[in-house]
C-alpha cells in the first residue's frame, strides 16, 4: 500500500501537467491555430488543451501573477504588450534552446520573454463587387471626391496617424521620424480631420469585412487575416497592400505558470516550420520561422504580408515609438474623436 501511495504521489506532477490552457484572440486566427497547432499537439503530446479567447487584456495576466493564481499557461499577446509585460515581470523568460535556432526566425520574432507567432498587417480593403477600381494609395483612401462614401477605421491613434501622414505625402520609411515631432503629430491630426466626416469607426476585427459586405463603407482599414477569412467564405473583398503596417503577435508564458515545461513544448511546436506552414495555409498571416516559407505554395505566399510584393512599401509597427508616445497620442485622439 505504501508503495502504491508513493507511486500515486510520483504521478501527480505528470497528471497536473497533462492539461494546458492556451489563450488567443479567437476568430479566424483561433480556427487556424486549432488546425495547425492545437490538434497536432494534443495528438503528439497526449495533453488536453483548453482554449480561451480574450481581447488582449494584459490586466488579467497582471492580476494572476500578483495573486499567484495562474490559470493561463500560454498567451498570445500583441507587440506592445510583450515588451511592457517583460519589463513588469509578468512573463517567464523564453528558453530559446528549446524553441529553435534564433537565426531561423525573423529578427523581430526573437525577444527575451516572447516568441513571434505570426506576422499580420493592417491594410486598406474594399469590396470588389461595389468598387471595380479600388484605392492604390493612402492618398486615394482620403480622396472622397474620387471615391465617395464612408471609410471604416479602427477607433484609436495607432495606425491612423501613420496612415494620415502617408496620405499627406510622407514616405513610409520616414513616417515615425515625422510623427515623433510635435509638428508631425499636428500634421497627422490635421490630415485625419479632413476625413473625419466620412469615417465610420470600428473596434473589433470582425467589423471591417462586415461593413464592406453590407455596403456601410466604401473602403476600410482592416486586419489582412479578417479579409482573407471573408474571401475564403466567397466574399469578393480586395486588399491594397501599399503602405500597410505589419506587426507580430507573440507567445508568452505568464510568470509562475505551473505548466511552464509543457507550455515551452507547445510554443516550440507552434514555432516549427511544418506547423507554421500549416497555419499560413489556413489564414494569410506570415510565418516568423523563415524555414516555413519553403514549404508553402507560391499562391499562398502571394497572399502573405511577408511576400516581397506585399511588403515592399510596408511599414513595420514601431513598438518603441508607441511605448514612448502612445499614451499621450491616444489621449489626444480620444479628445479629438469626441469633438
Q: What is the pLDDT of residue 324?
A: 86
Examine the pLDDT at 5 and tell me if it is beyond 90: no
CATH for 121-245+312-338 (3.40.50.2030, 3.20.20.100, 3.40.190.10, 3.40.50.410): 3.40.190.10
Measured CA distances, 241 to 124, 170, 195, 231, 321 (Å): 7, 16, 20, 16, 23
For residue 334, what are the contacts with CB-CB under 8 A and spacing of at least 6?
none
For 224-245, what is each residue's pLDDT tens digit? 999 999 999 999 999 999 999 9
Domain spans of the chain?
A: 2-119+248-308, 121-245+312-338
Nearest CA to 39 out of 223, 282, 316 is that of 282
Residue 284 has which C-alpha cell?
A: 494569410
Q: What is the pLDDT of residue 330?
A: 94
Q: What is the pLDDT of residue 151?
A: 98
For β-strands 315-316 and 115-127, DSSP reports them as unpaired
- Could you tell me the pLDDT band of residue 7, with boundaries at 50, 70 and 90? very low
CATH of domain 2-119+248-308: 3.40.190.10
Nearest CA to 159 out of 218, 225, 246, 248 is that of 246
For 283-336, what is each residue's pLDDT tens digit? 999 999 999 999 999 999 999 998 888 988 899 999 889 988 988 999 999 999
Using CA atoms, how far apart are residues 125 and 60, in angstroms rounded to an integer? 33
Q: Which of the residue ranges 16-30, 90-104, 182-196 would you say has the lowest mean pLDDT?
A: 16-30
pLDDT exceeding 90 applies to what percent of the chain?
86
For 46-76, what is each residue's pLDDT tens digit? 999 999 999 888 899 999 999 999 999 999 9
Please indicate whether the domains covering 2-119+248-308 and 121-245+312-338 agree at the CATH topology level: yes
For 76-133, what is each residue's pLDDT tens digit? 999 989 988 999 999 999 999 999 999 999 999 999 999 999 999 999 999 999 998 9
Examine the pLDDT at 38 and tell me if it is beyond 80: yes
Amino acid at each position: 500500500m505504501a508503495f502504491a501511495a508513493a507511486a500515486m504521489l510520483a504521478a501527480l506532477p505528470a497528471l497536473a501537467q497533462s492539461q494546458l490552457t492556451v489563450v488567443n484572440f479567437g476568430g479566424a486566427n483561433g480556427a487556424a491555430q486549432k488546425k495547425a497547432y492545437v490538434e497536432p499537439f494534443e495528438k503528439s503530446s497526449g495533453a488536453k488543451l483548453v482554449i480561451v479567447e480574450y481581447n488582449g487584456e494584459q490586466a488579467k495576466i497582471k492580476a494572476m501573477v500578483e495573486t499567484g493564481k495562474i490559470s493561463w499557461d500560454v498567451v498570445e499577446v500583441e507587440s506592445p504588450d510583450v515588451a511592457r509585460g517583460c519589463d513588469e515581470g509578468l512573463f517567464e523568460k523564453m528558453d530559446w534552446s528549446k524553441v529553435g535556432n534564433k537565426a531561423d526566425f525573423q529578427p523581430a520574432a526573437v525577444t527575451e520573454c516572447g516568441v513571434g507567432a505570426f506576422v499580420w498587417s493592417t491594410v486598406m480593403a474594399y469590396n470588389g463587387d461595389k468598387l471595380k477600381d479600388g484605392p492604390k494609395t493612402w492618398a486615394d483612401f482620403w480622396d472622397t471626391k474620387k471615391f465617395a462614401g464612408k471609410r471604416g477605421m479602427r477607433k484609436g491613434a495607432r495606425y491612423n496617424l501613420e496612415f494620415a501622414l502617408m496620405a499627406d505625402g510622407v514616405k513610409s520609411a520616414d513616417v515615425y521620424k515625422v510623427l515623433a515631432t510635435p509638428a508631425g503629430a499636428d500634421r497627422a491630426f490635421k490630415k485625419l480631420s479632413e476625413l473625419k466626416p466620412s469615417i465610420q469607426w470600428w473596434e473589433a476585427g470582425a467589423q471591417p469585412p462586415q461593413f464592406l459586405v453590407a455596403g456601410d463603407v466604401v473602403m476600410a482599414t482592416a486586419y489582412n487575416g479578417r479579409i482573407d477569412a471573408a474571401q475564403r467564405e466567397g466574399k469578393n473583398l480586395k486588399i491594397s497592400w501599399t503602405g500597410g503596417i505589419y506587426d507580430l503577435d507573440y507567445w508568452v508564458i505568464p510568470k509562475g505558470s505551473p505548466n511552464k515545461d509543457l507550455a515551452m513544448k507547445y510554443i516550440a511546436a507552434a514555432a516549427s516550420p511544418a506547423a507554421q506552414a500549416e497555419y499560413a495555409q489556413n489564414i494569410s498571416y506570415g510565418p516568423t520561422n523563415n524555414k516555413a516559407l519553403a514549404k508553402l505554395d507560391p499562391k499562398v505566399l502571394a497572399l502573405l504580408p511577408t511576400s516581397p510584393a506585399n511588403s515592399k512599401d510596408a511599414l513595420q509597427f514601431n513598438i518603441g515609438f508607441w511605448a514612448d508616445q502612445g499614451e499621450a497620442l491616444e489621449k489626444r485622439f480620444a479628445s479629438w474623436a469626441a469633438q
